[in-house]
Amino acid sequence: MSEQSRDRIFARLSAGSRQPSTSVPQPEPMPVKTYNRTDKIEKLKTLMEAMRTEVHITSAQNWIHQLEEILKKRELKSLVYPPQTTLGDTLESHWENDPSGLPQLIPYEKKIEDFKDRLFTIDAGITSTAGAIADPGALILWPSEKEPRLMSLVPSIHIAVLEADKIFSSFLEAMQKEKWSTKMPTNVVLISGPSKTADIEMTLAFGVHGPRELIVLILES
């Protein structure tokens, strides 16, 4: 091999081993639309109803009566709820005053191993929420020891209680305003409607992998 040929080979190898530029273009900020309070409520309601969610806008003072109407209309026999919570205390107080026509209140206070057989026979479950996202229209559930995920997953009907002031324009706004970076949970659940799935023929079925009905009570202060 001539010296000239060798030099050309080494030159090509040297050129091929050069490091590429480390300059990476910065992505443009993602556009995030914000809504006022009224629009957030309406946006959430519209999008969730499009996913076959039943949404009721009620007052923070009278929501329990709205719940009573919903339960009696469906003639439910049992309702699992989270005891030792603000929601649980309200339910217990109302049931003590006048339980006629209302389903049996069943507290979720046992370990799942001792409660799972009973849980699968309960008509409905009621939970609080950590908030909601107006767009794309989803509830935020923050499962905990007092309100485990199975409460909203196993019963055929899931009733979610949502404070209107906890409806955020976007997922980003929810994370920032609620300071999620300081208290990230092991599990955050976003729910846009009742459980649904489709087979290979695109036949849509509800309630196969979770509740067949989702009912949301939005509490206005």
pLDDT, tens only, 38-82: 999 999 999 999 999 999 999 999 999 999 999 999 999 999 999
The continuous run of DSSP H or E covering 160 comes out as strand 157-163
The pLDDT value given to residue 193:
93
Q: What superfamily would CATH give domain 34-220?
A: NagB/RpiA/CoA transferase-like (3.40.50.10420)
Mean pLDDT by 10-residue block, N- to C-terminus, for the chain (221 residues)? 74 67 77 90 97 96 95 95 96 90 93 88 96 96 92 96 97 92 86 87 80 96 86
Please report the pLDDT score of residue 111 as a whole number: 86
Cα separation, 131 vs 167, in Å, equals: 6
Tokens (6 digits) for 141: 């559930």
From residue 29, alpha-carbon distances to 72, 184, 196 in Å are 49, 24, 34
Q: What is the DSSP string of 99-139?
A: -TTPPEEEE--S-HHHHHHHHTT-SEEEEE-SEEETTTTEE
pLDDT at 18: 62
Contact 57, 220 (CB under 8 A): yes
What's the predicted TM-score (pTM) here? 0.83
- The Cα 99–Cα 104 span in angstroms is 8
Question: What pLDDT, on the 0 to 100 scale, is given for residue 20?
Answer: 62
